[in-house]
Amino acid sequence: MVDYELLNQLYEGVYILDNSGRILFWNNGAERITGFTSAEVVDKFSHDNVLNAIDDKGRQLYLSHEEGDAEHVYVQHKSGYRIPVKFKSLPLTFDDQSIGALEIFTETHCLCGNQIGKGAMDKITGLASKAYVEHTIINKLNIYRNFGVEFGIMIVDVDNFEAHNQTYGRLACDYVLKILASSFRNVFTGADLIGRWRGDEFVFLFSNGSSKHMKAISEKIRIIAENSALRGELFRDIDVTVSVGGTKVNHEDNLESIIYRVLEQLKTAKSKDGNHTFVK
């Protein structure tokens, strides 16, 4: 006998599937993590893919009854942004016969490293403001000159944002920026800082990353952005993709030179019709 009251007290998300993949139960933790209520989910099937789960490569995942853990999974919140979670599947049996599965999913992100004061915050996205990012880059340049601590910078530009603005309006596009900001904040907790740069541009700062690591991160940014979007009938036609340019600090750099170089890399990425990355 499953103790539903106990499952509803868990902080983790829990849902129960029968052998046909129909969702029989969706706990309070699952509602908290995903934004979907029990009434919206119960009686749907696993193939309906309410969680719209993807892996690191952006491949669609259809969670099964197989016992075990699944890492590097990103589910989509009802609002559209991505959340990294870890899944654990446990079989349910009665009289030694399978009757379904109990799925547990736990958030794996921690936002503590990217908290900033309200005065340094962009009002729309809640990320660091452009002025605060510039201040941080100058500090990082001084640390690099004095102590040799390298860092990399990436600028992320939303593709076709002006066309989206004309088609859907400013409020809808501001909401797209909020969705992307939430996805970036949740997924890229290893970044030193994530901020809003100009208009539809975001900026990422990373310490001590190799060029290979930065290329992998830029591709992950592209994939997470491509899989973050407004959900629901009204905005189903908004396809969100980004272009990403990145570079690493060098000995001749000042604020102007490193920004100029990363924008040149971004220009190269955007020249490939968007949804591309270029790190050099």
Reduced to 3 states (helix: H, G, I; strand: E, B; else coil), residue 259 is: helix
More confidently predicted of 231 and 78: 78
Taking the C-alpha atoms of residue 53 and residue 62, their distance in angstroms, rounded to an integer, is: 7
Q: Are residues 71 and 27 in the same domain?
A: yes
Taking the C-alpha atoms of residue 228 and residue 245, their distance in angstroms, rounded to an integer, is: 19
Q: How many CB atoms lie within 10 A of CB 271?
A: 11
Q: Are residues 177 and 224 in the same domain?
A: yes
32-70 pLDDT tens trace? 999 999 999 999 998 888 899 999 899 988 765 455 566
- Strand order, beta sheet including 13-18: 23-26, 13-18, 97-107, 82-94, 68-76
The whole-number pLDDT of residue 6 equals 93
190-206 pLDDT tens trace? 999 999 999 999 999 99
Phi-psi map region of 70: left, alpha, beta (phi>0 left; psi -120 to 50 alpha): beta
| Residue 125: CATH number of its domain | 3.30.70.270
From 65, 82, 107, the end of a domain falls on: 107
